[in-house]
Homo-oligomer: A and B are copies of this chain.
Amino acid sequence: MSQTKQLLDALQWRYATKIFDVTKKIPADVWSALEKSLVLTPTSYGLQPYQFLIVQDAAKRAALLPNSWNQKQVVDCSHFVVFTARTEMTEADVDKLISRAVAIRKLPTAEALGPYRHMMLGDVVNGPRGKAAHEWASRQCYIALGNLMTCAAILGVDACPMEGINPPEYDKILGLAGSGYKTVVACALGYRSADDKYASMAKIRYETAELVKIV
């Protein structure tokens, strides 16, 4: 089977899973690959202004449930990922990335990255994006979410993205006060139950010509 067909089949196979099979857990090697895919997500300037919380504690999951429109996926899935984004962007965030770049690329000094540092500071810290830094960081979480859902589908793992959550309550339950991060969106991962009638329903998408325009 061609790689193209394999990819499109995976995207067709996936759907927002309503009922997870509570007995099926994602094997460690598959989860490790999904974790790596999250880490490899591309972000603006490479700033990675997020943290991914994998909620495995049953009591925490139970507390999140009523703050998730009671969607049972929260407690029934194998791995529950909460995407959190930086509340603001500071000079320290930029310098952390610069240090990391120097270390990984074995650059002589951070000064080599002076213009790059200056550009980032003038944009996401002190510039227009700085004023809306949490929103900007939240958008980066959505890149990670899109990437994760596609990677999961390719590896045969089911997923349910969840915007229908109460972020301030999530923040309390997950103890995020003072952490510099706030809840943005969540995604339940695992394996669909044979009882999930949504699995076999036709996907609802507009015509390609309506969504994609050549200009």
Contacts and interface: CB of A to CB of B under 8 A. Distances in A.
Interface string A1-38: 00110011001101010000000000001100101111
- Contact size range, A: 35 or more
B101 A213 contact: no
A108 to B, nearest CB: 15
Contacts of A37: 7-8, 11, 150
Nearest to A79: B214
B146 A41 contact: yes
A204 B99 CA distance: 10
Contacts of A46: 204-205
Interface of A: 3-4, 7-8, 11-12, 14, 16, 29-30, 33, 35-42, 44, 46, 48, 50-57, 60, 97, 100-101, 104-105, 123, 135, 138-140, 142-151, 154-155, 161, 163-164, 174, 185, 201-206, 208, 210-215
